[in-house]
Structure 1
Amino acid sequence: MRSFRKTWVAVAVTAALAVPVLPAATASGATAQTTACPTGWGSLAEVRATSTAKPVTNIRTGRHACYDRMVVDVPGAGRSALGYSVRYVKELRQDGSGRLIPVAGGAVLEVRAAAPAYDPATGLPTYPGRVNRPLPGVDLTGYRTFRDTRFAGSFEGETLVGLGVRARLPFRVLVLTDRIVLDVAHNWTGAR
């Protein structure tokens, strides 16, 4: 009888250890998920030396679990022609005039798209930004990293934007079809 009990206990323990541990259910019944934030981004300048005559038509932002995102839309540019320069600067200066454009935040990213914000054939604006003003339609309420945006103009085929962030944080730049994507992490460690 004793041998039978030992065998039964061994089977029960083995069965218990074989059951996978699932994430805890939330009050709504959904399981909690852990987001692994990307790491390995840096804060040094990123440059892609190509350009397009296709104009910028929109600049938008979004919030994500691990980073805040800015997207510069350049319809019709494809992927291979989109160029950019993104770097931290002490202050944002307008191209051509050198005029200082104040940007709120603990650090300032100079975001330069190698595309005009006007139609090269007519000179008419394709993006409604006004120099030294926040980006139209962008509301940064509730963002963890972004603090301010400023349109710095479009000069000689390049569009310049100032992005105020909480502190000098790591970022990455991606080029997708018809858009430049800038992600700025919430912190250096990858923790949420």
Structure 2
Amino acid sequence: MPTIAQRRRLAGLLTAVSLVAAGGLATETVAAPAAPPSDTSPKVKTRNPAKIPRVVDARFGKHKAYDRVVFDLTGKASGYNVRYVSTLRQCGSGKKVTIPGKKFLSITLEPAQAHDNKGRDVYRGPGQNSTANPKLPTLRSMRMLCDFEGQVAFGLGLKRKAGFRVGTLSKPTRIYVDVAH
């Protein structure tokens, strides 16, 4: 009979193998933090890569203590500004965007674009033309708000205000947002 530690290692290995096989959240070994994020203050990181990265996809997943949204980018990571807002708005026009949720996180990636040099969309992920509804414990909805003047913005609709953290992963380049359950 395997020990508890052996069963945990096996479960972790099977999870990692199934995620990679299914094109999941990681193609490298990244330890998922055990504790849920608790900070609700804005997270801002400024970066100025030589070539503007493109946002090409996004996905979400449920972890033991948090929901994760991952944005796939080409090139080096962009900067970001992630904060709670009372109303989600489109870039440029300022038009109000309504999505399911009681609290809202605004995620702006800058510099970034979701189109190629000919103006064709390269982002094919959830929430591009309609609201995505992942039905996770905290994350209720996601919507792309804009691809405008070097900014790509998304809105997350949440069940409640919860702590969150933001980080980057590489090979391929990704920016993630974790929201506590």
Q: 1:43 aligns with which of 30, 35, 40?
A: 40
What pairs up with 1:159-174 in 2 under 5 angstroms? 159-174=152-167
Aligned residue identity for 1:82? S
Indicate the RMSD between aligned Cα atoms, in angstroms. Answer: 2.4
TM superposition shift of 1:37 = 4.0
CA distance in 1, matches of 2:83, 2:161: 10
User: Would you say the 8 A contact 1:82–1:179 is kept in 2?
Assistant: no
Bigger drift between 165-174 and 123-132 goes to 123-132
1:125 is displaced (CA, Å) by: 1.1
Of structures 1 and 2, the larger Rg is shown by: 1
More strand by share: 2
Q: Distance in 2 between matches of 1:131 and 1:60?
A: 12
Q: 1:54 to 1:167 in 2, by over 3 A?
A: same
Cα separation, 2, equivalents of 1:40 and 1:93: 26
Counterpart pick for 2:95 among 74, 93, 99: 99
CA contact (8 A) 1:46 1:86 kept: yes
TM-score normalised by structure 2 residue count: 0.74
SS in 1 for 2:84: strand
Q: Normalising by structure 1, what TM-score?
A: 0.70
Residue of structure 1 equivalent to 2:57? 58
Identity of aligned residues (%): 35
Number of the residue aligned with 2:179? 184
- Quick one: distance in 1 between partners of 2:157 and 2:78? 23
Please point out which of 153, 159, 175 is paired with 2:168. 175
Q: Contact 1:70–1:181 at 8 Å: present in 2 too?
A: yes
Residues 103-146 of structure 1 show CA distances to partners (whole Å, capped at 9, x for unaligned) of: 21120000111211112x222211136766224xxx513x1110
